[in-house]
Each structure stands twice: as structure tokens, then as C-alpha cells.
Amino acid sequence: MADDLGLLVRCESPSADIAAVAASADVVAELGARLTGVAPERIVVDGRTHLRWRFGPAGAVPGILLLGHHDTVWPLGSLAEHPWRVADGRAYGPGCFDMKAGLVQLFHALASLDSLDGVSVLVTGDEELGAPSSRPLILEEAARADAAFVLEASADGGALKTARKGASWYEVRVRGRAAHAGLEPWNGVNAAVELAHQVLAIAALDRGPDGATVTPTVAIAGTTANTVPGTATVHVDARVPTVAEQRRVDDALSDLVPRLPGAHVEVVRGPRHPPFEPVASAGLFALASSVAVRLGLPALTSAHVGGASDGNIVAGAGTPTLDGLGAVGAGAHAPGEYVEVAEMPRRAALLAGLVTAVRSAEWVASEPAGWSPGTKPGSRHDTARP
């Protein structure tokens, strides 16, 4: 498994580099075909390369989606500074933890199963960008699935991710009126001052670590040092625990009004992920806990996290979802990112056990009250499973 991880890590795949992502897809496709015996469908959308496997006859029940991505945040050349290596039981290298080790675990788990009927695998190439081209593919597979397992890296200590905040991105644009800052500043409408008012209003929407976090980020104003700024912008990153909070923040940003006479404010909505709320994972986490006991693994723990993933899209579509089944390690997106190699076969065994358990009546018994994946809107099944 470490050797396979080295193959993926040594093929750098920054999300913004279409050619690099395509080359990485070749390596992932070869790994998956070697371990499952089936070549993937290669899907290119807006130049970005995604891979999909669908195993078994159409209509196999229950449907199980395994979801991951092969793009990373690391630019080409990062291997020179952060080379692939294994030392003292840890594997290092750009993207090893987020989330190439999860892909290795996924395919080794599938290789251990007698049958893959009903399993779909989707490996996207733009997760780190917010899934701009892969979102329709994710939703298509979510509609076919009765359960989804996301191979993103685990939370601290190997915890599974049972909830994620939703994410919304915005750009707030201010238009004022430029003027000479020395000769006649009074004839201008200072977009930087207007932006300052808006930033304070945006920051006031924040509800702290356990609620919605609303963070003004990159701010730009003006053109030259001796000109009253005529334009200004600020980007906003909003992370929300519930659909209601996502709506509250969205409405509040839409209602922003200018404070200075003559200023104009425009709010442009960017990508968004719905919240992944705990009810979406409750049954699958209970199932995973029982599988771990049977396998003799340590008791599983869970975490609610602020970062969004493709799992938000699947859970938001109504599919029971469990995230964080990938690598155990630390340092995502940071120098020193690493994976605990000894945990890789254990996590692969857990995933294989989950796929097997979902096929049994045990999964039906573990579903939380009020959650019926067999009849969820958009599912290919319009009657409850026997």
C-alpha cells in the first residue's frame, strides 16, 4: 500500500493545472484497474479529468458510492521541497494525507471483496476548487446510492467525520467615485471607506466556532496612492452548521446597503456546499462502530469539522454519508503532511467491512429514525428495500 501511495504522490496534481490532473488520472486509473480488474470511465468536464467505476449489473441493490479526489493544493515542483519518503512508520509527500492515501485504501478494500456488485467509485479532479465541474457527476452518483463513504482524510486521532459545516463564498463589490486625493478628495466617493463599513457589517454576522463563521478575507481597494479609491472588493468565506444558518447569512449579505452617499454595493455569489448535518451520518457511524468491533479495531470516534468536502454535496442530496474514512495522519495542506502507514490496511479493512455490512439487513436496522435512504427523493428506488 505504501508503494502504491508513492506512485500517486510522485505524480503531482495541482487542481489548477489541467494537464497535471489528467496525468494523475492516468496513474489513479491504472491503480484502480490493477486492483479491481476493471478500467474506469474517463470523464472530462471543462478540461478537468474525473474517473468513474460502476460495478455489477444496473439496478443492483443497495447502491454504495465510494467518493474521493485526486487533485491537491500543492503546485508543481512541491516534490523538490517535500519529497516522497517513508520514515519511522510515516509516509510524507504533497497530497499524501489529503487525500491520495484514501484512494489507495479504497482500491485495496475493493480488491479484498468477493463481489463489487452495486458499488460505484467516483474520483474527481477538482474537489479542492469546490467541485465546479464534478458537482453534476457527484449528484448523479448520489441519486443512485443508498449509502456513501467519503475517503477524505480522518480528523484528529483517526476520528471519522460525521458532520461538516456548509460553505458559501461571496465577493462584495463596492463602486464609489475616483478623485484626486490632493486636489479635490471631496469630489470623490471613497470606495475603501465604504468597504470598511461593509466589512464590519459582514463580520457581525459571525456566530463563533460552533455556529456560522463569516470571515472577510482578501480585500482590495483603489488603484494609486494619490487617488480616492473608486472601486473596492472583499471576498467572504462563510461556514454554516445548518441550512437555516446558510439561509440567514445569504439573506443578510443580499441585504447589504451602502453607507456613503453615492456608493453602490453588489454581492456576487460564488460556489457553495450545503451543510453535512449529523443526521446524514448517524446510522452509518453506528454501523461502522459495530464493524470495527468485529474486526478487532479500536473504538471509533467522530468529529464535526468546519472544512467542506464533496461529502457535503452527497449528504445535502439526501444520501446517508460517512466521511473521513481515508488516511490517519496530520498536516493537510501544510509542510510535513504525513500518513500513518500502519493504519492504511486497517482503514481499508474497515471500508471493506462497511461495504459488506451495507449489503445486509444490519444496515436497515441501523438507519436513524426519520431517515429512509431506500425512498429518498432522487433515488433510483421508489419503494423500500425488502
* Separation between Cα atoms, residue 259 and residue 236, nearest integer Å: 19
Q: Where are the domains of the chain?
A: 2-165+276-375, 167-272
**Residue numbers annotated as active site:** 71, 127
CB 174 within 8 A of CB 284: no
Cell of 375: 425512498
Contact 176, 262 (CB under 8 A): yes
Question: How buried is 192 (Cβ within 10 angstroms: 0-12 exposed, 13-18 middle, 19+ buried)?
Answer: middle
Q: Give the CA dihedral 35, 36, 41, 46, nearest 10 degrees.
A: -40
E strand or H helix at 354: helix 343-358
- Going by C-beta distance under 8 Å and a sequence separation of 6 or more, which residues neighbour residue 40? 29, 32, 33, 51, 52, 53, 121, 123
pLDDT score for 64: 95
pLDDT, residue 62, reads 77
Q: Whole-model pTM above 0.85?
A: yes
How remote is the C-alpha of 126 from its chain's centroid? 10
pLDDT at 361: 62
- The pLDDT of residue 374 is 41
- Contact present, 68 and 123 (Cβ < 8 Å): yes
Closest CA to 103 of 139, 67, 74: 67
C-alpha grid cell, residue 249? 447569512
Strand spans (E) along the chain: 41-45, 48-54, 64-69, 85-87, 90-92, 119-124, 147-150, 160-164, 166-175, 179-180, 213-221, 227-228, 231-240, 264-273, 302-305, 321-322, 329-330, 338-340
| Cell reading at 372 | 429512509
The 10 Å Cβ neighbour count of residue 3 is 8
SS (H, E, C) 56-93: CCCCCCCCEEEEEECCECCCCCHHHHCCCEEECCEEEC
pLDDT value of residue 363 = 61
For residue 378 the three cell numbers come to 432522487
CA distances from 246 to 181, 300, 316, 357 (A): 40, 30, 13, 34
Q: How many CB atoms lie within 10 A of CB 291?
A: 22
State the pLDDT at residue 56: 87
d(CA 147, CA 314): 9
pLDDT at residue 379 in the model: 39
Q: What share of the chain is helix, strand, coil (3-state, %, to 5)?
A: 35, 25, 40
In DSSP terms, which residues pair with 232 in a beta bridge? 174, 221
Q: What was the pLDDT predicted at 51?
A: 98
CA–CA separation, 185 and 178 (whole Å)? 8
The pLDDT profile of the chain, 386 residues, written as one tens digit per residue, is: 999 999 999 999 999 999 999 999 999 999 999 999 999 999 999 999 999 999 987 665 579 999 999 999 999 999 999 999 999 999 999 999 999 999 999 999 999 999 999 999 999 999 999 999 999 999 999 999 999 999 999 999 999 999 999 999 999 999 999 999 999 999 999 999 999 999 999 999 999 999 999 999 999 999 999 999 999 999 999 999 999 999 999 999 999 999 999 999 999 999 899 999 999 999 999 999 999 999 999 999 999 998 899 999 999 999 999 999 999 999 999 999 999 999 999 999 999 999 999 988 666 544 444 444 444 433 333 322 22
The grid coordinates of residue 136 equal 453534476
Kindly report the CATH number that applies to the domain delimited by 2-165+276-375. 3.40.630.10
Count how many residues are written for the chain. Answer: 386
Strand partners, 164: 276, 305
Residue written as grid cell 449528504: 315
Interacting residues of 269 by C-beta distance below 8 A, sequence separation 6+:
168, 169, 170, 250
β-pair type (160-164, 179-180): unpaired
Q: What CATH architecture applies to the domain 167-272?
A: 2-Layer Sandwich (3.30)
Residue given cell 500500500 in the structure block: 1
